[in-house]
Amino acid sequence: MIMAGGASLLIAFFVWKTIFSVRDTVGDFTFSTMITYFAVIFSIKILVGSAGIARTMMDDMRKGSLAFLLIKPVNYNLFQFAKTITEKLLQTIAPLIALGILVTNFSDTFLPPQNLTFVIIAFVQSIIVAHVLYSIIGAASFWTVQGWGIIAVAGRFMDTVNGMVFPLDLLPEKIFNVITYLPFQYMGYLPAAIYTGRIASVDIVRHLIIQFLWIIILTLTYRWIWNKGIKKFDSVGQ
Amino acid sequence: MKKFLRYYHKKNKAVLMQLAEYRVDILMTIMGTYSYTILTLVFFGVIFGNIDGIGEWGKFEILTLFGIGQLIFYTHWSFFAGVDDWVSDIILNGNLDIYLTKPVNSFMNLITFKLSVVEKMPSYILALAITIYGFVNTGIQLKPLPILLCIVLMGLGVILKMLISLSISLLAFWVSKTRDMKRMYYHLFEYYKYPTDIYPKSVKLIFTTILPIGLLAYGPAYFLLKGFSLNILGSYLGALAFYITVVAILWNRGLKAYSSASS
C-alpha cells in the first residue's frame, strides 16, 4: 500500500512538474504547495482509505459470519472501529517517516507543516469520519447481495470530492461551495489544507468543530441504519 | 486448434449462462469500471479547467491517450481477465492440475479461461466514445495509415499487457505472496495515462523497456496523433520479444517446480 502510494505520488510529481515548467501557478497553487499537498494527501490516503471496513461488513453479512460475531460478548461496531484504529496507527509510522524525510531533505519542494497540532487533530478526526462513512456504505449490504460495486462507486465518488484526486480549490467556485456543505472534505482535504496553510488560522477551529459535528451526525445516521438492517438480517448454519 | 476452439466455445457458453444467472454481478462490474473512467474524466476536466496542456500534449490529445489506454485495458480484460485475477491463485491452491489434464494446450487454456467480453462491453463502448471524442476534437485529419498503425499497436499492446501481468502471476510458482506485487503493478499502470515525454530519462527508460507500461497506450496514441516513429515501434517489438521470452522461461521452469497433492 505504501509502495503503491509512493508510485502515485511519483506520477503526480512528474505530471505537476511538467505543468509548472511553463507556468508559476495553477489556481493559487505554486509547485511547492501542490507537491506538498499531494505528499500529505497520499499519506492521509493510506490511513483514511477505510474501504476495508465496508468490504469486511459486506463479507460478514454475505457469508453469515456476522451472526457468529454478534453472539460474542463484544459490540461488533466498536470491535471493528478498534481494529481499524489499531491497524491505522501502526500504518501511520511509515508514511510519517517518509514525509519527514521529504520535508527534511527536499525543503525547497516539500514544505513543513503549518499548525501541526491542528493537523494532527484534523487527521485523527478524518480517520473517524472515513470509518463511519464507509461503515454506512458497508451497512448497505443488509439490503444488497453484491455490494462491491456500490463500495467501488462510493469510494471513487468520495475520493473525488474529498480532495484525494485533486485539491478541491481547483474546482469551480460554485461546486466547491456545494462540497463545503458535505462531510467528504473532512476525510482528507481538511488536514492537507491545514498542513499547507490553505485555511486561515481563524477558520481552522471552526472547521475542526464542524468536522466533529459531522462525526456525531454520521454516527447517529449509521446507528439508525444498523438498527434497521440488523432486524432484517438472518443467517443459517451449523 | 480446432479442438481448442470447440473447447473454448463450450467453456464460454458456460460463462454466458453464469452471467445470465447473476445479472446483478454484471451491473456491479459496469458500475465499478464506469466510476473509474468518470473519476478520471472529472480529474482531467478540473485540471484542464486550469491549464492548457501537459507538456506538448493538449487536453484532447490526453483524452485520446486515456481512451486508447482504456481500450487496451478492457480488451485485455475481455479475453485474459484470469491472468490478472486467478492464475496465481490456481497455482498456489494446487488447482493447476485441472488445466494441465485437459486435452488442449495447457498454457492457452490457462490464459483464456475467463472470458469477460459481455461484462466489459459497456465499458468498452465508453472508452471508444472517449477516444473518438478526443481525436475528433484535436482537429487532426483522419488518415487510414495512422489509424491502421494505431490499431495494430493496440493489438500488440493487449498482448504486451497480458504478458506483463502473466509474468507477475507466474511468480506464484516460487513466491507464495504475489498480491503485493500485483497491487504495485496496478498502481504503476497509472503511468499509461500520461505521455512518456513528461518523465525524466531514467524513469522513461524503465517504463519503456523493463516495465513497458508507459508504451502501452503512448505508442498507439503517438502513431495516431503525431505520426510514425521507428523508435516507438522498435521499443514496442523489443518489449514484446523480451516478455515472450520471460513468460516462456517462467512457464517452463515453473511447471518443473510445480507440485500438488489431493485427497
A-chain residues near B180 (CB < 8 A): 3
Contact B31 A26 (CB under 8 A): no
Nearest C-alpha of chain B: how many angstroms from A26? Answer: 6
Nearest to B186 by CA among A199, A1, A84, A14: A1
Nearest to B25 by CA among A152, A139, A49: A152
Helix (H, G, I), strand (E, B) or coil at A45: helix
Nearest C-alpha of chain B: how many angstroms from A86? Answer: 21
Nearest C-alpha of chain A: how many angstroms from B11? Answer: 24
Chain A and chain B share a number of CB contacts under 8 A equal to 84
**Amino acid letter, B216:** L
Report the pLDDT averaged over residues B21-33.
73
Contact B54 A15 (CB under 8 A): yes
B-chain residues near A7 (CB < 8 A): 184, 187-188, 190
- Residue A132 CB coordination number (10 Å): 24
Contact B35 A150 (CB under 8 A): no
Q: Provide the chain B residues 157-216 that lie in CB contact (below 8 A) with chain A.
A: 180, 183-184, 186-188, 190-191, 194, 198-200, 203
Contact A26 B184 (CB under 8 A): no
Closest chain A residue by Cα to residue B45? A171
DSSP state of A227: H
pLDDT at A5: 58
Beta strand B57-58 with B53-54 is antiparallel
What's chain B look like in SS3? CHHHHHHHHHHHHHHHHHHHHCHHHHHHHHHHHHHHHHHHHHHHHHHHHHCCEECCEEHHHHHHHHHHHHHHHHHHHHHHHHHHHCHHHHHHCCCHHHHHCCCCCHHHHHHCCCCCHHHHHHHHHHHHHHHHHHHHHHCCCCCHHHHHHHHHHHHHHHHHHHHHHHHHHHHHHCCCCCHHHHHHHHHHHHHHHCCHHHCCHHHHHHHHHHCCHHHHHHHHHHHHHCCCCHHHHHHHHHHHHHHHHHHHHHHHHHHHHCCCCCC
B103, pLDDT greater than 60: yes
- Report the percentage of chain B scoring pLDDT > 90: 35
Contact A8 B190 (CB under 8 A): yes
Q: Which three cell numbers stand for residue B141?
A: 485529419
pLDDT digits (tens, 9 = 90+) for B48-82: 888 888 888 999 999 999 999 999 999 998 888 87
Closest chain B residue by Cα to residue A169? B46
| Cβ of residue B56 closer than 8 Å to a chain A Cβ | no
pLDDT at A151: 80
pLDDT at A145: 66
Q: Provide the chain A residues 126-145 that lie in CB contact (below 8 A) with chain B.
A: 145
**Amino acid letter, B26:** I
**What is the sign, positive or negative, of the torsion defined by CA atoms of B72, B75, B80, B84?**
positive
**What is the sign, positive or negative, of the torsion defined by CA atoms of A166, A169, A170, A171?**
positive
Q: Which three cell numbers stand for residue B161?
A: 499487457
Say which residue, A160 or B162, is predicted with more confidence: B162
Query: How many whole angstroms separate alpha carbon A236 and alpha carbon A203?
Result: 53
- Residue A8 CB coordination number (10 Å): 18
DSSP state of A174: H
Residues in chain B: 263
| Cβ of residue B49 closer than 8 Å to a chain A Cβ | yes
Band the pLDDT of B96: cuts 50, 70, 90: confident
Partner residues linked to B54 by β-bridges: B57
DSSP state of A112: P
Residues in chain A: 238
What are the backbone dihedrals phi and psi of residue A29, each rounded to the nearest 5 degrees, phi first? -90, 135
What are the backbone dihedrals phi and psi of residue A163, each rounded to the nearest 5 degrees, phi first? 90, 10
Nearest C-alpha of chain B: how many angstroms from A75? Answer: 31
pLDDT at B244: 95
Report the pLDDT averaged over residues B196-218.
87
Helix (H, G, I), strand (E, B) or coil at A49: coil
pLDDT at B61: 95
| Cβ of residue B39 closer than 8 Å to a chain A Cβ | yes
> Mean pLDDT over all residues of chain B?
85
Partner residues linked to A29 by β-bridges: A26
Closest chain B residue by Cα to residue A2? B184
CB B68 within 8 A of CB B62: no
Q: Provide the chain A residues 26-65 that lie in CB contact (below 8 A) with chain B.
A: 26-27
Query: How many whole angstroms separate alpha carbon B263 and alpha carbon B261?
Result: 7
Contact B54 A18 (CB under 8 A): yes
pLDDT digits (tens, 9 = 90+) for B122-153: 888 999 999 999 999 999 988 899 999 999 99
Helix (H, G, I), strand (E, B) or coil at A29: strand
Residue B17 half-sphere exposure, CB side, CA atoms within 13 Å? 6
Ranges in chain A, pLDDT < 50: none
Nearest C-alpha of chain B: how many angstroms from A79? Answer: 27
With a threshold of 0.90, tell me whether the complex ipTM lies above it: no
pTM: 0.83
Band the pLDDT of B155: cuts 50, 70, 90: very high
Q: Which three cell numbers stand for residue B48?
A: 484542464
Q: Which of B34, B47, B183 is opposite residue A166, by nearest beta carbon?
A: B47
Sorted by sequence, the CB contacts under 8 Å of residue B90 that are 6+ apart come out as: B96, B99, B110
For A25, the enclosing helix (H) or strand (E) is none
Nearest C-alpha of chain B: how many angstroms from A74? Answer: 32
| Cβ of residue A150 closer than 8 Å to a chain B Cβ | yes
